[in-house]
Structure 1
Amino acid sequence: MKKAEVLNFPNPSRMYDASRHCVCFWGYDNAREIAFLVDDSMLTRLNPGADSGESSLLATFDHNRDRILELARTLYNGGPQNRYTIS
């Protein structure tokens, strides 16, 4: 079994972090929480005509959630790192 296959996203929560200019969400490898950050530029590339405000970026994340979760699974390597940036 590859490490990415043990990464789950049972919690649909996400939040915009204005200080880091990203949307944050969390995955779990068993009981271990892994933070993922999707930067504004990535979200803008996913929806080029959208506004760059918080509500628009969160809507872009929601609309592209499945694609973003697949990117997160690809990035995750199961090592000691507990935060990944998708950019």
Structure 2
Amino acid sequence: MSIQFPNRSRSYSETHHRIQFWGHDQSLEVSFFLEADALERIHPDAAQDEASALRAFDANRTRIEHAAMRLYSRHAHASYTLTARDI
């Protein structure tokens, strides 16, 4: 179970106030969702609009991906939601 993040794309859901990004474990694609509270914890001065949220995500991508790796290493699922306590 080794997750990697070769796909740099991400998207913001205004409805759910979260950012989706993807990881890959060999041929398996895994969806990750970063909740707004998690982003606020690591980047408190980021505004809540899409452009600001994506900039904050990009600035903290390494930290977010490490948190996603820790979560994935515990249990393999098709999707995960990262909250403030996961970061």
| TM-score interval for Structure 1 and Structure 2 normalised by the shorter chain | 0.7 to 0.9
| In 2, Cα distance between equivalents of 1:50 and 1:19 | 18
Q: CA deviation at 1:53?
A: 0.8
Q: CA deviation at 1:21?
A: 1.1
Q: Name structure 2 gaps, 5 residues minimum.
A: none
Across the two proteins, how many residue pairs are aligned to each other? 82
- 2:16 matches 1:23: no
Q: CA deviation at 1:35?
A: 0.2
| In 2, Cα distance between equivalents of 1:7 and 1:30 | 8
The aligned counterpart of 1:53 is: 49
Q: For 1:2-81, what aligned pairs fall within 5 Å after superposition?
A: 3=1, 6-77=2-73, 79=76, 81=77
Q: Which secondary structure state, in structure 2, belongs to the residue aligned with residue 66 of structure 1?
A: helix
Q: TM (normalized to structure 2)?
A: 0.88
Q: TM (normalized to structure 1)?
A: 0.88
Q: CA deviation at 1:23?
A: 0.4
Identity of aligned residues (%): 38
When Rg is computed on C-alpha atoms for both structures, the one with the higher figure is: 1
Q: Which runs of 4+ in 1 moved over 4 A?
A: none
Q: CA deviation at 1:10?
A: 0.7
